[in-house]
């Protein structure tokens, strides 16, 4: 419901709102090769990586199997893209140790 509320506020006040969708590449392979418990650990790690990168008023949610959505109110598409890239890089630098070492 937060998205609908933010869109209504943005329309009423004529302010920008951006929505960023992250789809984790090769997530099915993680589940297939390492099992669902490791996949679940990976998703939690990604969430913990994103949360501290958010600014006040921003919201992140898992919206699909390996998809995360970021709601960025009062932010232009250009500025949201810059923030999204910063978060994407942080996710890309995150590692998860498994029993197999990878």
Number of Cβ within 10 Å of residue 70's Cβ equals 20
When pLDDT is cut at 50, 70 and 90, the band that residue 6 belongs to is: confident
In whole angstroms, how far apart are CA 18 and each of 4, 38, 44, 62?
12, 31, 24, 16
What are the residue ranges of helices labelled H in the chain? 2-13, 27-34, 36-50, 77-92
Strands 67-73, 59-62: parallel, antiparallel or unpaired by DSSP? Answer: antiparallel
Q: Which domains does the chain have, with CATH numbers?
A: 2-92 (3.30.70.270)
> What are the pLDDT digits (tens) for 12-40?
999 999 999 999 988 999 899 999 999 99
When pLDDT is cut at 50, 70 and 90, the band that residue 102 belongs to is: low
> What are the pLDDT digits (tens) for 59-81?
999 998 899 999 999 999 999 99
Q: Mapping DSSP to helix (H, G, I), strand (E, B) and coil, where does residue 49 land?
A: helix
Q: pTM to 2 decimals? A: 0.83
From 66, 67, 85, 97, the catalytic residue: 66
**Residue 58 bears catalytic tag:** no
């Amino acid at each position: 419901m937060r998205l609908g509320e933010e869109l209504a506020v943005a329309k009423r006040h004529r302010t920008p709102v951006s929505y960023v969708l992250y789809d984790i590449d090769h997530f099915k392979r993680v589940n297939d090769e390492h099992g669902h418990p490791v996949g679940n650990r990976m998703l939690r790690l990604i969430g913990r990586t994103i949360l501290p990168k958010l600014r006040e008023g921003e919201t992140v949610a898992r919206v699909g199997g390996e998809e995360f959505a970021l709601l960025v109110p009062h932010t232009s598409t250009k500025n949201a893209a810059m923030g999204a890239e910063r978060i994407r890089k942080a996710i890309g630098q995150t590692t998860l140790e498994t029993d197999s070492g990878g």
